Structure 1
Amino acid sequence: MFIPVGLAETAMFSDQSGRSLCVAVSSAGSGIAQSIVDSCHRSMLPIRLVGIDCNPLAYGLYDCDVRLLAPPIHSPGYLNWLLEACQEHRVDLLIPALDTELGMVSGAAEQFRSQGIEVLTAGPDFVALCRNKLLFSELFSLDGVCVIPAWDVSVARRKVAAGEVELPLIAKPVDGSGSAGTMIINEMSMLDRVGDRMMLQQYLFPKIIDPNFHEIRTAVAEGKILQISELSVQLMFSKRGELLGQMATVNKLKDGVPIEIVPFDYDLIRAALEPVVNLLREHGAAGPVNLQGRMTESGLRLFEINARFTGITGLRALLGFNEVDLLIRDWLHLPCPSYMPGISHHRVGLRQVGIRVVERGRVAGVSSGVCPASDRRDDIKSRVLVTGASGWLGRHLVEAVCRSTRYEVVCVVRGQHSREVLRFWLAQRGVDPRVIVFDGPEFSLELGSADLLINAASGRPVSGNTELAASLDYQMNLMDEAEAHAVPSIINISSRSLYPTGTSLRNREDDPVAPSDVYGMHKLAVDDRVRRIGKRNPYISACSLRLSRLYGLADGMRWEEVPHAFARKAAGAEQIVLWGGDQKFNLLHLRDAIDAILFVAGMPRDEWSDVFNVGSSELVTLHQVADAANAAAQRLGLNGAEVVMEPGDDKRCFGMDTTRLSQRGWQPRTVFVDAMFELVSAALNRTGCRGCKTAHP
Structure 2
Amino acid sequence: MINVLVTSVGGGVGQSVVDSIAYLDSKYKIIGLDLSDTVYARNQCDVFLISPRINEPSYLQFLLDTCEQYNIDVLIPGNDGELEMLSRNIDLFINIDVKVVVSPLNIVASSRNKFNWYKDYSSIINIVPTALYSEYVKSPDSFNEITFPVIAKPAAGSASSGIQIFLSLAELLSDPIPSDEAINYVVQPYLMPMKTASDYKTLNKAVQERRLLQLSEISCQIVYDLNSEVMGIFVSKNSLKNGVPVTIEPVTDESILAVIRDIAEKLKSEKLIGPVNIQGRLTDQGLVFFEMNLRFTGITGNRSQFGFNEVSSVIEAFTNEGLVTPLISNTARVGARQVACTTFYPLGQNATSIILVTGASSWAAKNFICHMSKTGFLVGKKIILSARNSAGLKEQLEHELGTNETREFVYIGTRSEELSQSIGLTDVIFNFASARPPHGNHKIFESTMFNLSLVDLIKCGNPGFVVNMSSQSVYEASFDSLCYESSAVTATSTYGLSKHVVEQAFSSIPKYCKGTKVVNLRLGRLWSGNIEVDKSQFPYRMLDSMLGDGLFEVANSDNQISMLDVDDLSQSLLSLMELWKGDNELPTTLNLGGVNTSLNQLVSSLEGALLEAGIKFNKLAINTESTQSKSVVISSHLAEQYGLNSSRNLVSSWLKLLTLYNK
- Normalising by structure 2, what TM-score? 0.49
Q: Which of these two proteins has the greater Rg computed from alpha carbons?
A: 2
- Normalising by structure 1, what TM-score? 0.47
